Structure 1
Amino acid sequence: MKIRYLLIMVLMTFTVLSLTGCVPGDGVNNVQHPAGFFWGIWHGWVAPVSLIIGIFNHHIRVYEIYNSGWWYDLGFYIAVISGFGGISLSRRKRVKQEE
């Protein structure tokens, strides 16, 4: 049991650390190299992590300011909606049994 919890904690730590590598505002994107559609998808998926990191680091944002415009927005919103709204679609609905 103890090994299982340790393994879960190590995997969670690894996941969080790998997600923090590509958050908006980390300096990867600039005016000459703006974030595009796929960066928008990635930033939408890591938005909750970016929000938490942004509390402690003022350079990190939820949304990349150096983006390609409409395509980045589309990718960002697709990821946010599918990541958060998609959870409600996959839940098992309980059927009320009539008495």
Structure 2
Amino acid sequence: MKTKLWLLLVAVALVVTACAAGPNVVSHVDGQQLAGFWKGLWHGLIYPVTFIISLFTDRVSIYEVHNNGNWYDFGFVAGIGLLHMIFGGHRRLTKRRREPSTAS
């Protein structure tokens, strides 16, 4: 039983890593300023708005492909996480107090 579980976990891990994104080959474009951490943070914060707009136009995208790599990605994910915390994600983490029952 344990062997089957380990094989299943390894198979799932291989499938998930096969779907990982590759390197950003567009990031080495000459003459353009690459987006960094702060722009990634901003793009993460405005993600919901840009996603809705991107459904209706091709001129707006939710992710800047001309970025400096890991720092932009970190800022983007941090912005989405910060947005999630601001607009209610933390409420699910807190436990609600239960009123003591007055059953006799």
Name the TM tier (shorter chain): 0.5 to 0.7
Whole-angstrom distance in 1 between the partners of 2:85 and 2:63:
19
RMSD of aligned alpha carbons: 2.2
The structure with the largest alpha-carbon Rg is 2
Whole-angstrom distance in 1 between the partners of 2:41 and 2:35:
10
Aligned-partner residue type, residue 100 of structure 2: E
Q: Which residue of structure 1 lines up, in the alignment, with residue 89 of structure 2?
A: 88
Displacement of 1:88: 2.2
Alignment of 1:1-20 (within 5 A): none
Displacement of 1:95: 0.9
Q: Greater helix percent: which structure? A: 1
Q: How many residues in Structure 1 have an aligned counterpart in Structure 2? A: 70
TM-score, length-scaled by structure 2: 0.59
Displacement of 1:49: 0.5
User: Sequence identity of aligned pairs in percent?
Assistant: 37
Q: Does 1:35 align with 2:35?
A: yes
TM-score, length-scaled by structure 1: 0.62
Q: Which residue of structure 2 lines up, in the alignment, with residue 98 of structure 1?
A: 100
Gaps of 5+ in 1: 1-29
Whole-angstrom distance in 1 between the partners of 2:100 and 2:76:
43
Displacement of 1:59: 2.2
